[in-house]
Amino acid sequence: MWLKDSSIGRKLIMSISGIALILFLLFHGTMNVVAIISPDGYNMICEFLGANWYALVGTIGLAVLVIVHILYAFYLTLLNYRARGFERYAVTKKQAAVEWSSKNMLVLGIIVLLGIGLHLYNFWYKMQWVELRHMMGADVDVSKATDGIGYISELFANPVYSLIYLVWLCALWFHLTHGFWSALHTIGWNNDIWMKRLRVISYILATLIVLMFAAVVIFYYGSSLACGIAA
């Protein structure tokens, strides 16, 4: 199967799963921004994307994408490590034209993955998962699943969580600045003229996505401070 056995095939998998994840992030980010604009609206979305069949299918699809993306990342890195040979260079220097992120996608990816783990525990485990169990008859507290806003403001009032989330988003930003144009490049949608444009678009897109997420963190951490002072 050429998607597994050829280098370009493997890269295509990375590329397509990556782009899909970026689309998801865009969607997720847009949703988050709602939390700032209209807390009620956000809670409506939380309810809407609860334990419904379409949300579940989406979640499973998303999980598959993430797993494929991660598995291929490790597989590719292993192959690439082998291709480099046993001896390593004693002196290496970075070329000016090479993005730092492009050479550290795996490390960035791992940080992002750890962040996802925490995030899943914080949110998915306590919201959709709880709701699922509830539906299956378990005796659990489903308040967080529907009152997203309440939960967010509670969580991000904690400065440690806020900081961890910000570091995570930082890694995500670097990951995306390279990831986006690289994905399109791998599909073949690039040429000399678009090379620069795509890189600029990558920066804009990564910044946009990260800002959407960070805004929520900062907003609720800020408001917790404000509330604290007010209290």
Partner 1 sequence: MEKTINIKVKVWRQAGPKAKGHFETFELNNISTDSSFLEMIDVLNEKLISERREPIAFDHDCREGICGMCSLYINGHPHGPDDEITTCQLHMRKFKDGETITIEPWRSAAFPVIKDLMVDRRAFDKIIQAGGFISVNTGGVPDANAIPIPKKNADLAMDAASCIGCGACVAACKNGSAMLFVSAKVSQLALLPQGQVEAARRAKAMVAKMDELGFGNCTNTGACAAECPKGVKLSNIARLNREYLCAKLKD
* DSSP code for 120: I
| Interface stretch with partner 1, choices 8-16, 61-69, 136-144, 215-223 (CB under 8 A) | 8-16
Member of 59, 122, 190, 207 binding partner 1 (CB under 8 A)? 190
Contacts with partner 1 in 76-115 (CB under 8 A)?
76, 79-80, 82-93, 95-99, 102-103, 105
User: Which is nearer to partner 1, 162 or 182 (by Cβ)?
Assistant: 182
Number of residues that bind partner 1 (CB under 8 A): 44
User: Which DSSP string do the residues of 46-114 spell out, in sequence order?
Assistant: HHHTSS-HHHHHHHHHHHHHHHHHHHHHHHHHHHHHHHH-SS--S-----TTS-HHHHTHHHHHHHHHH
Q: Say whether 144 sits in a helix, a strand or coil.
A: helix
How many CB atoms are located within 10 Å of the residue 8 CB?
Answer: 12
Neighbours of 229 (CB within 10 A): 7
Distance (Å, whole) CA 27 – CA 48: 14
Applying the rule CB under 8 A, the residues between 152 and 181 that interact with partner 1 are: 178, 181
| Span of 10-18, 117-125, 129-137, 204-212 interacting with partner 1 by CB under 8 A | 10-18
12 contributes a contact to partner 1 by CB under 8 A:
yes
Question: Is there binding between residue 9 and partner 1 (CB under 8 A)?
Answer: yes
In terms of Cβ atoms closer than 10 Å to its own Cβ (0-12, 13-18, 19+), residue 140 is: middle
CB of 208 to partner 1, least distance (A): 21
CB of 193 to partner 1, least distance (A): 9
Nearer to partner 1, 2 or 27 (CB): 2
Q: Which of 40, 136, 192, 228 binds partner 1 (CB under 8 A)?
A: 192
User: Binding of partner 1 at residue 137 (CB under 8 A)?
Assistant: no
- Give the shortest CB-24-to-partner 1 separation in angstroms: 22
Interaction of residue 70 with partner 1, rule CB under 8 A: no
Interaction of residue 1 with partner 1, rule CB under 8 A: no
> Is the Cβ–Cβ distance between 179 and 22 less than 8 Å?
yes
The Cβ of residue 144 has, within 10 Å, a number of other Cβ atoms equal to 21
The H-or-E segment that residue 157 falls in is none
Q: Give 42 or 180: the residue with its C-beta nearer to partner 1.
A: 180
Instruction: Determine the Cα–Cα distance for residues 24 and 212; give it in Å rounded to an integer.
Output: 13
Residues that bind partner 1 (CB under 8 A): 2, 5-12, 76, 79-80, 82-93, 95-99, 102-103, 105, 178, 181-182, 185-192, 195
